[in-house]
Amino acid sequence: MVARSSRSAPRPLPPAPDGAVLRAVALAYLARFSATRAAVEQTLVRHVDRWVRRAIASGMEADAASQAVMPARELIPRIVADMEGLGAVDDARFSEFRARSLARAGRSRRMVAAHLGARGVDEATAGQAMEEALGARDGEGRETELAAALVFVRKRRAGPFLRPDADEDEAAQRYRRAMDAMARAGFARDTARQALDMDVSEAEDRIMRMRSA
């Protein structure tokens, strides 16, 4: 009796991806995630790159594999634009939603901007989105930033959220550590001090107002 191999036969190499395949990949990705133009483009590039690696592993010459996917690579910008035309990709909408979510989680405006930049959102779109979501930097945005700082402070159990039985040494230590942490997190020194020196009832009220806005 001949023993069967424990390894299954390798799957045959599918044809190089075309427009229909790329479109299906983009739609499947967007059905799972809210994403930026850059993220969709990266997803499609990775899909094409995986085909190239698989083709080479199956015995195809690297140059031939790269040449086979050239039409697909050229189609990627058009597929991304199609997704945008369908409303499935909207960098401004994505940025506004993400900015609100991050502020409510205790992120500073500076960290929000860095996050959006890392997601491939251009500076102008990110700036406009933050104005819409968080308020103008010299107006309503100050209140949002302070509320975000309060969320940050609450997570660290410092300032108004210090546990009632903490002694003076612990209070001072937590205050200093919170100031240092808030500086690293992108909060201005004045905002950090205001958050740490606030009465707990006012602090909770400000957080609630931000999260219900």
102-112 pLDDT, tens digit per residue, is: 999 999 999 99
Residue 56: inside a domain, yes or no? yes
Dmax (CA) of the chain: 82
Q: Which residues contact 153 (CB under 8 A, 6 or more apart)?
A: 159, 160, 161, 178, 182, 195, 196, 203
> What percentage of the chain has pLDDT greater than the value 90?
89
Task: Name the domain boundary from 56, 85, 114.
Answer: 85
Residue 10: inside a domain, yes or no? no
Mean pLDDT of the chain: 93
pLDDT at position 7 is: 59
pLDDT in tens, 173-211: 999 999 999 999 999 999 999 999 999 999 999 999 998
- Is there a single domain that holds both residue 185 and residue 99? yes
Number of domains in the chain: 2
- Is there a single domain that holds both residue 109 and residue 200? yes
- Average pLDDT on 18-36 reads 96
Helix, strand, coil percentages (3-state) for the chain, rounded to 5, are 70, 0, 30
- The pTM for the full model equals 0.84
Binning pLDDT at 50, 70 and 90, where does residue 137 land?
confident
Residue 8: inside a domain, yes or no? no
Residue 27: inside a domain, yes or no? yes
- Is there a single domain that holds both residue 107 and residue 202? yes
